Amino acid sequence: MNAPVSVFFDFNLPNGTTWFYFSWLLAVALFFKFSRFLSMRNWDVVTLFLLVPGLLIIQGTRANPTPSSEHPAVQIASVIGQGSGHALGAAPSNVAAVGQFGQSRDPSLVSGRWLWWGYLWLLCGTAYFLLRCLLDLTLVQKPALGPNLSFGGLAWLAGALAVCLIAVAFRPYEPPQTRALTPPNGKPNLVNVHGPTTTVGPESATLGQIREQIGARFWLLRGFAVLGHLAVVFGLIFIGRWHFQDTAAGMAAATFYLLLPYTGLYVGQAHHVWPMALVLWSIATYKTPTLAGALLGLAAGTMYFPAVLLPIWVSFYWKRGAGRFLLFFLASVVVSLTIIGLSLWLQGDLESSVREAFSQAAWQPWKEPKTEGFWRDVPTPYRIPIFLLYAAFVILTAVWPWPKNLAHVIALSAGVLIGIQFWYADQGGVYVLWYLPLLLLLVFRPNLEDRRPPQINVETDWLARWKQALGRLVRWMGRKPEPVGSNETLARRASEGGRVARGNESLAPNLRGIAR
Residue 505 pLDDT > 60: no
The pLDDT of residue 210 is: 53
Q: Pick from 51, 285, 208, 134: which is nearest to 297 by CA?
A: 285
Contacts of 231 (CB under 8 A, 6+ apart): 277, 280, 281
Residue 473 or 100, more confident: 473
Indicate left, alpha or beta for 278 from its phi (over 0: left) and psi (-120 to 50: alpha): alpha
User: How does residue 223 score in pLDDT terms, banded at 50, 70 and 90?
Assistant: confident
Q: Which residues pair with 179 in a beta bridge?
A: 191
Contacts of 324 (CB under 8 A, 6+ apart): 289, 290, 293, 463
Residue 469 in domain = no
The pLDDT of residue 409 is: 95
Residue 491 in domain = no
SS3 190: strand
Q: Say if residues 56 and 76 touch (Cβ distance below 8 Å).
A: yes
List, for residues 380-415, the tens digit of each pLDDT value. 888 889 999 999 999 999 998 888 999 999 999 999
Q: Say if residues 264 and 79 touch (Cβ distance below 8 Å).
A: yes
| Alpha carbons 265 and 72: distance in angstroms, whole number | 7
Residue 481 in domain = no
Task: Fill in the amino acid letter for 146.
Answer: G
Residue 334 in domain = yes
Residue 126 or 487, more confident: 126
User: How does residue 9 score in pLDDT terms, banded at 50, 70 and 90?
Assistant: low
Residue 452 in domain = no
The pLDDT of residue 175 is: 43
The pLDDT of residue 118 is: 85
User: What angle, 0 to 180 degrees and rounded to 10, lies between the N-to-C axes of helices 16-31 and 40-47?
Assistant: 170
Residue 508 in domain = no
Domain count of the chain?
1
Residue 279 in domain = yes
The pLDDT of residue 209 is: 52
Q: Say if residues 138 and 184 touch (Cβ distance below 8 Å).
A: no
The pLDDT of residue 424 is: 86
Mean pLDDT over 457-474 rounds to 69
Residue 488 pLDDT > 70: no
pTM of the entire structure? 0.75
Query: Among 29-33, 303-307, 344-348, 492-496, which stretch is predicted with the lowest mean pLDDT?
Result: 492-496
Q: Say if residues 98 and 74 touch (Cβ distance below 8 Å).
A: no
Mean pLDDT over 58-78 rounds to 47
The pLDDT of residue 316 is: 93
Mean pLDDT, rounded, of the chain: 75
Indicate left, alpha or beta for 111 from its phi (over 0: left) and psi (-120 to 50: alpha): beta
Q: Pick from 136, 144, 271: which is nearest to 198 by CA?
A: 271
List, for residues 345-359, the tens digit of each pLDDT value. 887 878 887 887 777
Residue 290 pLDDT > 50: yes
Residue 473 in domain = no
Residue span of the structural domain in which 356 resides: 13-173+184-444
